Every structure is written in C-alpha cells, then in structure tokens.
C-alpha cells in the first residue's frame, strides 16, 4: 500500500504539530547499541510518504535511549497516538455497528486497542527492528517487549497524524488493524478481559493472578458473578 503519495491535495497538519518536541531536533545518530534500521525504511514499509521524517524517528525512540541519541523519547507521541487510535476505532465501530449498544461497542474497542493486539500488529510489521534503544534495553530483549512495541506503534500513529493529517492516519490504522478488527467484531478473537488482565499482571509482576468467586446472583439462565483478583498474595 502507498498512503498519501500526492502532496498537493493533503490537508494541512493541525497546529498542535508545531509543539516544541519536534522544533529543535538534529539528525539522530545511530545508538551505540541496537543498530536499528533507518526510520525512513520503516515509512516506506508502511507505504506512507512523510514530509517530516524526524517525527517518525522520535516515534521509534524509546525513553531509555534519550541520552545516547540526543532525541526526546516517544512518550508524548504515544500519548497523542493513543487518542488518534481510540477515535479512529471508536468511529469505525460506531459506523459499522448501529445495532450495538454503548456497552458492547466499549468492549470491542477495549480489545481492539489493547496492548497485546497492538504488539502483535507491531510484530507483524517488524517494528522492533527499527526501534532506537539503549544498550541495556537492547540486551534485555526490548525489541520484543510487548509494552515497548505497543507504545511505539501508537507513537507512529501520532507521527503520521502530525505529518500528514487525520485522514491518512485513520487509513493507516484501519489498514493495519483490518484483519484483527474483523475477528474482534465477529467475536472470533482469542482475547477477552480476563486474558488482557492476566497478561498485564504477568508482565508487571512476573506471576499469574489468583481468582476467588465472591458473589453470584440472578436467574440460572443469566447469572451475574463477582470475582476477586489477587496479585502476589
């Protein structure tokens, strides 16, 4: 795919893109550890023609590498990308499923924008090869870490939004998530809330949670259960 190849007809990026995090930037040096592929190569892989590749370079810069490469990390872009992603998926689900109530739409969106789903999309893209990491993060397996991959992908969405506008960012997001979105909408996706919680706890505490049934109510055909989750005792 090639998104946004014609510059003349694109919308001007929003004023927020003039923020200070991209104003004073010098070309990044390759980190002493990690040796990532060039961000421009990742843009070509995405099929997006960028006018400001320094934004993408920042999106791929993990906070551990700030001092080594002299660039701000991707944390602020991640914040913005989370909002761009959330709005894109919410609008998509709203338009595609007029029959669903707010609660059902919320459940679908929660899975679609979850860390495990984003990390798998990032893995499919080979995003880890382009990350700019510190020596320590590189040696500890940062290129494969779920949280780093998911955060970087959100930052990439923000970089595309600031560079090319919402229309191209939205098209990119829906293209990348298309297969998984379809599975989620058909209730064929393997992730549920319990799985999402368990994966997050496992990542943070290196130990699985335990569960205890606290209460149950309602008729047999429509029971409501209340469970307690315990972490590390």
Q: Are 50 and 42 in contact (CB under 8 A)?
A: no
> H helices then E strands: how many in the chain?
10, 2
Count other C-beta atoms under 10 Å from residue 210's C-beta: 11
Among 21, 78, 154, 163, the active-site one is: 154
Long-range own/partner contacts, residues 184-193 (CB < 8 A, 24 or more apart): 184/108, 184/111, 184/112, 184/117, 185/93, 185/96, 185/97, 185/108, 189/111, 189/117, 191/111, 191/114, 191/116, 191/117, 192/111, 193/107, 193/110
Task: Single out the catalytic residue among 78, 82, 138, 163.
Answer: 82
**Distance between CA atoms of residues 79 and 98, nearest Å:** 29
Active site residue 102: no
User: Is 154 an active-site residue?
Assistant: yes
Q: Are 65 and 132 in contact (CB under 8 A)?
A: yes
Catalytic residue ranges: 82, 154
């Amino acid at each position: 795919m090639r998104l946004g190849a014609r510059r003349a007809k694109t919308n001007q990026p929003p004023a927020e893109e003039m923020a200070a995090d991209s104003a004073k930037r010098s070309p990044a040096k390759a980190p002493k550890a990690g040796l990532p592929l060039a961000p421009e190569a990742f843009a070509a892989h995405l099929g997006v023609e960028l006018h400001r590749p320094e934004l993408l370079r920042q999106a791929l810069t993990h906070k551990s590498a700030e001092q080594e490469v002299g660039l701000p990390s991707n944390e602020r872009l991640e914040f913005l990308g989370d909002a761009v992603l959330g709005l894109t998926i919410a609008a998509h689900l709203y338009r595609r499923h007029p029959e669903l109530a707010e609660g059902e739409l919320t459940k679908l969106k929660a899975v679609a924008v979850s860390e495990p789903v984003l990390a798998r999309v990032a893995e499919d893209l080979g995003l880890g090869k382009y990350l700019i990491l510190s020596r320590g993060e590189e040696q500890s397996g940062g290129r494969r870490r779920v949280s780093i991959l998911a955060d970087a992908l959100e930052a990439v969405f923000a970089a595309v939004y600031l560079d090319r506008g919402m229309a191209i960012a939205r098209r990119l997001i829906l293209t990348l998530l298309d297969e998984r979105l379809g599975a989620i909408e058909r209730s064929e996706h393997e992730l549920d809330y319990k799985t999402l919680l368990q994966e997050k706890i496992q990542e943070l505490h290196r130990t699985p949670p335990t569960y205890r049934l606290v209460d149950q109510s309602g008729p047999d055909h429509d029971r409501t259960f209340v469970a307690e989750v315990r972490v590390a005792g």
